[in-house]
Amino acid sequence: MQPLVLYDTTSKLPGNQWSPNPAKPRFALGYKGLPFVTIWVEYSEIATVLKSIGAKQIKRLDGSDAYTVPVVSDPNTGALITDSLEIASYLEKTYPEKPIFPNNSEALIRAFDSAYKTLTFPAVKFILGRTAEIMSPDSAKFFIGVRSKDFNLPWDEFTSEGPKREAQWELLEKAYNTMYDWYQKSNGKWIMGDTFSYADIIVACFVLWYKRVLKEDEWARICSWNGGKWAQLLTDVEKECNLA
């Protein structure tokens, strides 16, 4: 079997990875035990690189078309798939061993993905601000323009300290308190109880993003929530996906 190719965006951090969406196929590939290689792309060069390989565009929040990672190329089938959720669906159908949508749960996990994003999206502006700090100058400039347009806000709304920053923290903690309640109702280690699924990958990959881009004291703050649930979940999912 030839290795699949994952297109991800690079950073100044050791090991490069930071972005939650490309992390999702990385975790899914690891869980299924599929060989893969990563092609690292500067954020500012994503459109150029993906257009050159014939990748599809996605719809941005404002309805415009854009190239984005992750993209997975599968030389075994000739498939080229954009968007983390569509990649997960493709992997499940093409390589069904060790399912990530167990018990025919893809429709429910798609709903979970939407609910999770709705819950956390209003609270991540300051994390996006931190993200620009780990990029090269050209990529940071491009990233700032894209995210300012996504939220229709000036960049100082993403980087402000004081009461505005604390309000973001309160929103994020509230979101994860809700998530914690969801997990508590599962009566097991995972969101589906004792059954691991792509839903747990979704949560873990966003927690990974926080761990990678936030300052040490900020990450410690998240680690303190809900009895250390989120750092432990990330550790558990990394182990499950052979990425520990």
106 contacts: CB under 8 Å, gap ≥ 6 = 89, 92
**CB neighbours of residue 22 within 10 Å:** 25
pLDDT tens-digit series, residues 118-146: 999 999 999 999 999 999 999 999 999 99
* Cα 29 to Cα 20: distance, rounded to the nearest angstrom: 15
pLDDT tens-digit series, residues 16-51: 999 999 999 999 999 999 999 999 999 999 999 999
CB 238 within 8 A of CB 204: yes
Domains and their CATH numbers in the chain: 4-102 (3.40.30.10), 104-240 (1.20.1050.10)
229 contacts: CB under 8 Å, gap ≥ 6 = 176, 180, 183
* Cα 161 to Cα 126: distance, rounded to the nearest angstrom: 9
Half-sphere exposure for 242 (CA within 13 Å, toward CB): 11
- Look up the pTM and report it: 0.97
